[in-house]
Amino acid sequence: MTTRTAPPRGATARKPARQGFPPWKKRWFRNSSRIWLKRYNRNFARATKADMLVLDAGAGPAPFRGLFGHARYESADFKQYRDDQTYVCDVADIPVEDGRFDRVVFNQVLEHLPDPSAALRELCRVTKPGGQIICTCPLYYEEHQKPYDFFRYTRFALNKLFADAGFVVQKVDWMEGYLGTVGYQFEGMHRHLPRAAPADWSFWKARRTELLLQSTRAIGLLFAGLYYKLDAEWKFTGAGYPKNYVVIASKPE
């Protein structure tokens, strides 16, 4: 049965990524972060027993629901994304008793919450003693779902936020390697660099500039796909920084 409560103030619907890209370009720009996100959630699901109750907090369309098909599953979001969504509510105010859930899944939501501390305290409240949470969130990513995009998180901030909320942090991992970050930077070059120089520039200055821009855009297109593919096979963490972090934490017994 769906429990309906008022959506959080300032909430907005999720938007599909890469709107307007032709199909071949979407296939080429197969973001390795999404591959790693699924891998981490799959591993979390494999460690979830059949009798455990899972909360997918900020679930949206619940893309990883199938991974938890062997367990009992409930979902929460401010908007009714699916007919079988369990709770329509603010994730900082979930209408359930204390200690209801054995596992909490919290993917790519934390950056969109104006009060992340309140949300984490609430998720700790509804987690059983000994229960676990997986949380993924960005360190390096462009603004999205504007204007409801508030924060980016270092590993130090995540350790503090989860500890202050009452969790014991077991690990904070890079979700993808630095090669995935580089792929994303190349994709940004292709997507965001202008095609033309200012109209009031001289002919030769404009042509030189446009040659540089178009060459860089073409290189960005090629290298983004190559680096994404490489990152999916080789998670390099020896230098640089990730796009996202993964937190695995537990509630003390």
Do 147 and 29 sit in the same domain of this protein? yes
Query: pLDDT tens per residue, the chain (253 residues)?
Result: 444 444 444 343 343 345 556 777 677 778 999 999 999 999 999 999 999 999 999 999 999 999 999 999 999 999 999 999 999 999 999 999 999 999 999 999 999 999 999 999 999 999 999 999 999 999 999 999 999 999 999 999 999 999 999 999 999 999 999 999 999 999 999 999 999 999 999 999 999 999 999 999 999 999 999 999 999 999 999 999 999 999 999 999 9
Peptide bond into 129 cis (omega under 30): no
Q: Are strands 101-107 and 53-57 parallel, antiparallel or unpaired?
A: parallel
The pLDDT score that the predictor gives to residue 19 is 52
The pLDDT score that the predictor gives to residue 21 is 65
- Host domain of residue 185: 178-234
Do 148 and 188 sit in the same domain of this protein? no
What's the structural domain count of the chain? 2
Four-CA torsion 115, 138, 68, 57, nearest 10 degrees: 10
> Are residues 68 and 203 in contact, defined by beta-carbon separation less than 8 angstroms?
no
Of the candidates 58, 151, 147, the one whose C-alpha atom is nearest the C-alpha of residue 111 is 151
Do 117 and 148 sit in the same domain of this protein? yes
H or E element that contains 165: helix 155-165
Return the structure tokens found at 157.
Answer: 């901030």
User: Looking at the chain, how many residues does it have?
Assistant: 253
The pLDDT score that the predictor gives to residue 208 is 98
Do 28 and 145 sit in the same domain of this protein? yes
The pLDDT score that the predictor gives to residue 53 is 99
Do 78 and 118 sit in the same domain of this protein? yes
Do 90 and 211 sit in the same domain of this protein? no
Do 226 and 128 sit in the same domain of this protein? no
